[in-house]
Amino acid sequence: MSEARSFTVEEANATLDELREALPRLREARRALIAAGRRINERIVNDGGGIEGKDHFEARATLRTEIEKLAETGILLRDPETGLVDFPGEVEGRRVYLCWRLGEDQVAFYHELESGFVGRKPL
């Protein structure tokens, strides 16, 4: 884990309103790109090619923007479909990831650096 940023629980919780808006946009943009990729592949099979329209390029731009914003703030996107993110932080002097998923009220879990989501523990 990078030493550049470490979130307190309070700092992580302060980002949640923004994440509640950004993560659904990111998820929808990802879904749109996946759908566009399928359409392109179908066109290749049927007629040798195809290009996507404006919606494809807008979704790509949205996805890139949202991922860059997360990266700039030090938030780690773990699963765009469920809105799972990690915040580098500390618990009892140990480096851990504070763990939050879209739909949860607040950051209330953490996990060790090596354990991932399955190792979530309450704060």
pLDDT tens-place string over residues 56-109: 788 889 999 999 999 999 999 999 999 999 999 999 999 999 999 999 999 999
Strand partners for 88: 97
Surface-to-core class of residue 59, CB atoms within 10 Å of its CB (0-12 exposed, 13-18 middle, 19+ buried): buried
90 neighbors 7 (Cβ within 8 angstroms): no
Confidence of residue 36 (pLDDT cuts 50, 70, 90): confident
pLDDT for the residue 5: 86
Report yes or no: 15 and 69 within 8 Å, Cβ to Cβ: no
Angle subtended at Cα 108 by Cα 105 and Cα 109, rounded to the nearest 5 degrees: 135
Radius of gyration of the chain (CA): 18
What are the extents of the domains in the chain?
9-122
